[in-house]
């Protein structure tokens, strides 16, 4: 699964949204960020929904080019 990615919808509120691409190798960092904070940006997986269903937050995501 090297290089596998997730495309996710990322939002801070109802008006600020973007698509981001997340490498699956970042899963542990993401889960650590979730454990460390109950607030912050929220995420929904929009591809590969079977992977990391608990994904709700991320730090350092970069927007995909438009």
Q: How many domains does the chain have?
A: 1
What is the pLDDT, as a whole number, of residue 23?
A: 72
Q: Average pLDDT of the chain?
A: 55
DSSP string, 4-66: -EEEEEEESSSS-EEEEEEEGGGHHHHHHHHHH-SSS-EEEE-S-TTS-TT----SS--BPP-
Mean pLDDT, residues 45-64 taken together:
45
Please give the model's pTM, rounded to 2 decimal places.
0.32
What is the pLDDT, as a whole number, of residue 3?
A: 56
């Amino acid at each position: 699964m090297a290089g596998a990615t997730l495309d996710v919808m990322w939002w801070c509120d109802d008006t600020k949204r973007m698509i981001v691409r997340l490498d699956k190798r970042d899963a542990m960092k993401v889960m650590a960020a979730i454990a460390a904070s109950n607030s912050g940006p929220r995420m929904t997986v929009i591809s590969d929904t079977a992977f990391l269903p608990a994904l709700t937050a991320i730090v350092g995501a970069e927007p995909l080019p438009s």
